[in-house]
Amino acid sequence: MAVSTQPGPDDVRAYYDEFLRYRMTSNRIDGNPRIEAAISRILPLLRDTDRVLDVGCGIGIVSERLARRVTAGKVHGIDISPMNIWYAERTTRAGNLSFASHEAVNELDAASMELGGPADVVVLVDSIEHIPEADRPGFLRMLRGISSDSALLVITYPSPQYQRYLRENNPGELQVIDNSIELATLVEEAASAGYLLRHYSLECIWRPGDYCHVILQAGGSDCSRPLSQKRKSMAVRAVMKAESVLLSRIIRRYRQWRYVDRVFRRIRDHRSGEGRITDAS
């Protein structure tokens, strides 16, 4: 009898609980151009009142930035890793932002209940490639089922050519489940789920053409949402430049304290009690 080698949800959860400490916190301290590119893609699409679901939200960096934009709406972030959610809840600040630990394929209904109504925008930032391939078509159908009539689905993920490059040159960078997703396959699966392609681009984050940005729309006939990224004004570019210069050792030290030392100092033993997370009093 053939034995499946596909990691199950418990393996994936354990992997990302561990991933938090050695990888995710650095996104808070040093920033991450992949995340910034995704945020820049998503922000211009949002309306003040949108209800947004961030699936595979990690430590909530994207969720927090989106929540600041949808001032009369809300953002709910879900992630399989309780550690990521634990950390997100301690390091984000926004009144219209919530988090919960859920496995995306099997626990989407719970996430939808928590969101409190149909999602207007669902975002998958570097998470769709971690959904088991066989589950993806059904997962897209479920996303459509919990979304409003002309909801957007924004997906950013490593391009198949970048995945091939990593497989050949740096396999240690690949995560526990890390699929290559061809655009044609994704568009076909999304179409069966009731989405039409509104935007596709190949981005250059670290290497030419390493990331795909895809915007899908339920129904596909509502063209009232702007989809393009606005070019940043000179003032905004000047501020960004000044910010990068200011990212001095002092700021980096502050971030180390705010996002790592302060948070983990309070943890007594997050591994005790089968993954239960305990704060020291």
Residue ranges in contact with ligand SAM by CB under 6 A? 12, 16, 27, 35, 56-58, 61-62, 79-81, 84, 103-105, 125-127, 130-131
- Nearest in space to 60 (alpha carbons), one of 80, 40, 37, 77: 77
Distance CA 97, CA 73 (A): 9
Is residue 56 within 8 A of residue 76, CB to CB? The reply is no
CB of 250 to ligand SAM, least distance (A): 25
CB of 89 to ligand SAM, least distance (A): 14
Distance CA 190, CA 105 (A): 15
Q: Which is closer to ligand SAM, CB of 141 or CB of 150?
A: 141
Q: Which is closer to ligand SAM, CB of 51 or CB of 130?
A: 130
Q: Which is closer to ligand SAM, CB of 64 or CB of 126?
A: 126
CB of 81 to ligand SAM, least distance (A): 4
CB of 131 to ligand SAM, least distance (A): 6
Q: Which is closer to ligand SAM, CB of 14 or CB of 247?
A: 14
Q: Which is closer to ligand SAM, CB of 80 or CB of 190?
A: 80
Distance CA 35, CA 156 (A): 9
For residues 229-262, one letter each, b for 16 or more C-beta atoms within 10 angstroms of the residue's C-beta and e for the rest, the string is beeeeeeeeeeeeeeeeeeeeeeeeebeeebbee
Is residue 167 within 8 A of residue 218, CB to CB? The reply is no
For 272: left if phi > 0, alpha if psi spans -120 to 50, otherwise beta; the answer is beta
Q: Which is closer to ligand SAM, CB of 12 or CB of 46?
A: 12
Q: Which is closer to ligand SAM, CB of 150 or CB of 176?
A: 176
Sheet strands side by side (includes 74-79): 97-101, 74-79, 51-55, 119-125, 147-158, 211-218, 195-203
Helix then strand count (H, E) for the chain reads 13, 7
Distance CA 247, CA 253 (A): 10
The residue written with tokens 């490059």 in the block is 165
CB of 234 to ligand SAM, least distance (A): 29
CB of 198 to ligand SAM, least distance (A): 21
CB of 230 to ligand SAM, least distance (A): 22
